[in-house]
Structure 1
Amino acid sequence: MTENPYSELFNSQMDRYVAVGRSTWKERLRKLRALKDALEHTYRQALREALHSDFGKPFLETDLAEIYPILSEIKHVERNLKEWMRPKKVGSTLTLIGSSSYIQYESKGVCLILSPWNYPVYLTFGPLVSAIAAGNCCILKPSEATPATSRVIQEIAGALFDPSEVVVVQGEVDTAKALLELPFHHIFFTGSPAVGKRIMEAASRHLSSVTLELGGKSPAFVDETASMGTTSKRLAWGKCLNAGQICVAPDYILVTEKAKDALVSELKKQLESFYPKGASESESYARIINKTHFRRLQNALNTAVSEGAEILYGGESNEESRFFEPTLIGNVPEDASLLQEEIFGPILPLVTVKDAGEAVKIINSKPRPLALYTFSKNKSAIRSLSENTRAGTACINHNVVHLSNNHLPFGGINNSGIGKAHGHYGFLAFSNERSTIRQYTPSSIDLLTPPYTDFKQRLVNATLRWFK
């Protein structure tokens, strides 16, 4: 049998992970501060240029959505890591008199981080921040779809870390498959639900724990009580960010009949305001990552239109430059792929509903989404959407921004993911919470060992009566 090409790297980290797991909070912060300085200063321009080269990502979006979130995450860890690592005392039961109970946070060991192409910097180094904070060794596999950015990522990791602690591996699908053959202690994957299922299947062979940050169809509900100007601006921004190639983008809008015309009118105004000379001429609008994804989007749009859907705005595209205009579309057939599969692009279907109750039924008829957005001033509608649906995350009267709050757990549920990330929740994802009891005095349990006598039975009976 051919040896796995990554066995040597993996084994070097296996030899090292216990020592890394014993590192102090100060030692872990030194690594994170070096990463912070590299991203903020040394490699910032290189990353901007690489992302622009890969798919036209505007420099400001790189700063805002790729680099700043990692810096913010590191600052949050700096303020809290000492406290997070401290063993946490918990209460004990009557039968454990003379002992103390506590939770000890220990590293999981050797971890694999598989990151996607849409936010390759943030979704590679963001999980790495949590993994380092928790004291782990990591192998990173960035996406082959962003080659320029992946090269810079590898250069950064090579400059900052010993490969026996953190290393980047480049390659395509075969590389990921080979890595998944190794018995990692934890796997952190960001990507589609379809691939997430394969990751989970591979992890099951070694009983590796997983964090799966997936996607799905994240709906936005809008009713007539919402501020149409503000709502349309926020929805247009959330959908156009990275040309819609973001897991928490609003995937489709459920809009009440009374609000539809006003919302469509305001969305058009906002898109024209964002891109006065047209999105194709704008330096503020990204391109589709590759021609495969471009054709997927084009086919989905063409099929919907051929089946009776109406383009309300946009629809222009250019395969050679991978430009796809922000597009609003209505009257989409329910069975069209635009309403069945995650769009992951700048097409925004609008579905008319009578009220929040009908919106709830539609949302609950689909797999559980990563995010749910409610735009309304109606407390009853907001409560109905909040209480009667299930989603990984939610925003009320905004979208996407919850991703930036390090105090909130981020992650999906079922089809949209398993496990949470960011801040303390990211630290916990890469930690084993070891339950520990320390006995200081003779234990009451010592009185109840075999042989079981009548006296010992009376002791047990008395204890049971105590808890009635």
Structure 2
Amino acid sequence: MDAEAIVKELRGTYGTGKTKSYEWRVSQLKALFKIAENHEKEITDALYSDLSKPELEAFIHEISMMKTACKLALKELKRWMKPEKVKTSLTSFPSSAEIVPEPLGVVLVISAWNYPFLLSLDPVIGAIAAGNAVVLKPSEIAPATSSVLAKLLGQYMDVSAIRVVEGAVPETTALLEQKWDKIFYTGNGKVGRIVLAAAAKHLTPVVLELGGKSPVVVDSNIDYKIAVRRIIAGKWGCNNGQACISPDYIITTKENVPKLLDAMKQELEKFYGKDPLKSGDLSRIVNANHFQRLSKLLDDKKVVDKVVHGGQRDEDNLKISPTILLDVPEDSLIMKEEIFGPLLPIITVNKVEDSIQFINAREKPLAAYLFTSNKKLEEEFVMNISAGGLLINDTTLQVALSTLPFGGVGESGMGSCHGKFSFDSFSHKKAVLRRSFAGDVPARYPPYTTGKARFLKALLNGDILGLIRALIGW
């Protein structure tokens, strides 16, 4: 893989103006849709190979969402590309002004392993819609999906402008040494800092979709069955907890714990049976390294006796059952690191309002969730919790709405994507002001007289009466 040669080739294609045309963008978006439409089984099989991802989960969370993003871009592309007319002022009269979205150029998308199909192609859809040439670097931790992406994009897409580069750290490092017009990275904060440092050398703008410890606050005045089912769906029903917006820990009151725990145990057994390690509806841990990382969190002497449900492990098959821990110490490993797996600690507070202070004492999460029927608490939560996104009385569904930006804040990332937000992330909003040769104002030119000064001050201050006086006295 010659990263420099690839970038040079794509810059040559971009320089022809080919990718800027509406027709090219539409053709490539349609090609992406055909990939998902014509190769569903191949994609599903790859996702199962990489993660043992259940077929329905693969379709709903990856293939269907990717197709929806394609359809939205095709439907809205003309409107997104259309210049936005804006107002002018007396200062530039007579004139017209507009904001023209233009592609940034040649962009790099570095994807993650947990949703390796969706998280690879969702930003690529935005980059193509905006008219860019693109290099996609899928995650080597999901090798089957990476291979399928390389093969199918090579077959369906315009390879003079859209390329897939497979590989691991050496290939990613070589790509990051090149000059890009934007880098879109999805992953963890450690690598995010490496990406940001590499981009800084070329003043390249970056979108970082990271993660963090996404809290779930559970009040007592709720429908427990519905709330618990939604928490389970967001935690274990999303890649068995291997998702950046999965609930990372629960905060509730001491009095609320017995009822909450009882409801969670009942619903978990309904969903995954008495032996969840044998369930076909739970993804496995992606690889041995991550299995050991999660085992280390469980084996921490500070939490080893805090498991109140689950905890079973099958190292040979890389399976860990849905596990709940109660009252883990704040200084334990499991509360310091993003869990990214099927472990769910419960933290207790004296009153539910204390949860806001607990969350704010930590880094800003990618998502924060609240289950309550108390409108005042809901308002306080929305007003006082800083996170990439908030969701009241459910989990993870915010990612499904293209009308909402998806992205982090602080340690959980920068920039956003989804729908038009993806288009905007890969576009430069170019300011364009147009004037005629009429209406030239001599007062803007030297020599600067007292009369000209009075006129210009009145004009810039919007003082119509002063403007008239200055014109009369000039």
Q: Give the TM-score, by structure 1 length.
A: 0.96
* 2:241 aligns with one of 234, 240, 244: 244
The correspondence for 2:81, drawn from 53, 61, 85, is 85
Correspondence for 1:35:
32
Residues 244-303 of structure 1: per-residue CA shift (max 9 Å, x gap): 000000000011223211111111111101112522111111100111110010011110
CA distances 1:169-211 after superposition (whole Å, capped 9, x unpaired): 0111111111001000000000011211111111110011111
* Residues 465 and 172 of structure 1: CA distance in aligned 2, closer, same or farther (over 3 Å): closer
What secondary structure does 1:221 align onto?
A: strand
Partners in 1 of 2:15 and 2:253 — Cα distance? 57
Matched, 1:296 2:293: yes
- Is 1:440 matched with 2:448? no
Measure, in 2, the Cα distance between the counterparts of 1:445 and 1:347.
70
- Superposed displacement of residue 218, structure 1: 0.5
Retained in 2: the 8 A contact 1:309–1:330? no
Shift of residue 22, structure 1, vs aligned partner? 5.7
Residues 259 and 236 of structure 1: CA distance in aligned 2, closer, same or farther (over 3 Å): same
Alignment check: 8 A CA contact 2:309 2:325 kept: yes
- CA drift of 1:18 comes to 3.6
Counterpart position of 1:214 = 210
Tell me how far apart the structure 1 counterparts of residues 311 and 79 of structure 2 sit (CA, whole Å).
Answer: 52
> Does the CA-based 8 Å contact 1:308-1:333 persist in structure 2?
no
Which amino acid is 2:258 matched to? D
Contact kept, 8 Å, 1:144 with 1:172, in 2: the verdict is yes
Tell me the CA shift for residue 306 of structure 1. Answer: 4.3
- Secondary structure in structure 2 of the residue aligned to 1:466: coil
The 10-residue stretch of structure 1 (271-280 or 114-123) with the greater mean CA deviation from structure 2:
271-280
Taking the TM superposition and a 5 Å limit, the aligned residue runs for 1:156-195 are 156-195=152-191
* Counterpart-to-counterpart distance in 2, 1:467 and 1:191: 54
Distance of aligned partners of 1:55 and 1:22 in 2 relative to their CA distance in 1, 3 Å threshold: closer
> Is 1:148 aligned to residue 144 of structure 2?
yes
CA drift at 1:158: 0.3
> Residue in 1 aligned with 2:5?
8
SS in 2 for 1:183: coil
CA distance in 2, matches of 1:456, 1:332: 73
Flag structure 1 segments of 5+ consecutive residues without an equivalent. none
- Counting only pairs closer than 5 Å after superposition, residues 57-456 of structure 1 correspond to structure 2 as 57-240=53-236, 241-303=238-300, 305-307=301-303, 309-444=305-440, 447-456=443-452
The answer to whether the 8 Å contact 2:298/2:304 transfers is no
1:20/1:135 contact within 8 Å kept = no
Pairwise CA distance, 1:19: 3.5
The one-letter amino acid paired with 1:197 is R
User: For residue 404 of structure 1, what is the amino acid of its counterpart?
Assistant: A
Deviations 1:114-143 (A, max 9, x none): 001101100001101101100000011001
Q: Deviations over 1:213-235 (max 9, x none)?
A: 11001000001012110010010
Asked if 1 retains the 8 angstrom alpha-carbon contact of 2:31 and 2:157, the reply is no
Indicate if the aligned counterparts of 1:371 and 1:392 stay in contact, CA closer than 8 A. Answer: yes
Inter-partner Cα distance in structure 1 for 2:461 and 2:427: 39
Partner AA of 2:2 in structure 1 = P
CA deviation vs aligned residue, 1:61-93 (integer Å, no higher than 9, x gap): 110111011101111112211111001000112
Distance in 2 (CA, whole Å) between partners of 1:461 and 1:165 is 52
Distance 1:260 1:161 in 2: 53
Shift of 1:383: 1.1
Letter in 1 for 2:375: K
Q: Is the 8 A contact 1:367 1:415 kept in 2?
A: yes
SS in 1 for 2:193: helix
Q: Of 447, 455, 458, which residue of structure 2 is paired with 1:459?
A: 455
Q: CA deviation at 1:361?
A: 0.6
Q: In 2, are the aligned partners of 1:96 and 1:444 still within 8 Å (CA)?
A: no
State the 1:340 CA deviation. 1.3
Q: What displacement does 1:356 show? A: 3.5
In the TM superposition, what is the alpha-carbon distance from 1:465 to its structure 2 partner? 4.5
Q: Which amino acid aligns with 2:259?
A: A
Establish whether residue 25 from structure 1 lines up as the match of residue 48 from structure 2: no
Larger Rg: 1 or 2?
2
- What count of residue pairs does the alignment treat as equivalent? 463
Q: Partners in 1 of 2:95 and 2:305 — Cα distance?
A: 68
Structure 1 pair 467–225 and aligned structure 2 pair: CA distance change class (3 A): farther
The question of whether the paired residues in 2 share the 8 Å contact of 1:95 and 1:444 is answered with: no
Match of 2:411, SS state, is: coil
Contact 2:126 2:423 in 1 (8 A): yes
**TM-fit CA distance, 1:441:** 3.7
Q: Post-superposition shift, 1:453?
A: 2.2
String of CA shifts for 1:47-69, please: whole Å, max 9, x gaps.
11111111211111110111011
SS in 1 for 2:454: helix
Q: For 2:47 and 2:344, how far apart are their aligned partners in 1?
A: 24
Contact 1:288–1:324 (Cα < 8 Å) also in 2: yes
> Does the 8 A contact of 1:374 with 1:397 survive in 2?
yes
CA distance in 2, matches of 1:331, 1:110: 49
TM-score by length of 2: 0.95
Report % sequence identity.
Answer: 37
List alignment gaps of at least 5 residues for structure 2. Answer: 465-474
What is the alpha-carbon distance in structure 2 between the residues aligned to residue 151 and residue 446 of structure 1?
66
Confirm or deny: 8 A CA contact 2:94 2:435 kept in the other structure: yes
Name the aligned partner's letter for residue 82 of structure 1. Answer: K
Q: CA deviation at 1:17?
A: 1.4
Decide whether aligned partners of structure 1 residues 440 and 346 sit closer, same or farther in structure 2, where only a CA change above 3 A counts: same
Alpha-carbon distance between aligned partners in 2 of 1:248 and 1:215, rounded to the nearest angstrom:
7
**Deviation (angstroms), 1:325:** 0.7
Contact 1:223 1:258 (C-alpha < 8 Å) held by counterparts: no
Shift of 1:446: 5.3
CA RMSD of aligned residues (A): 1.5
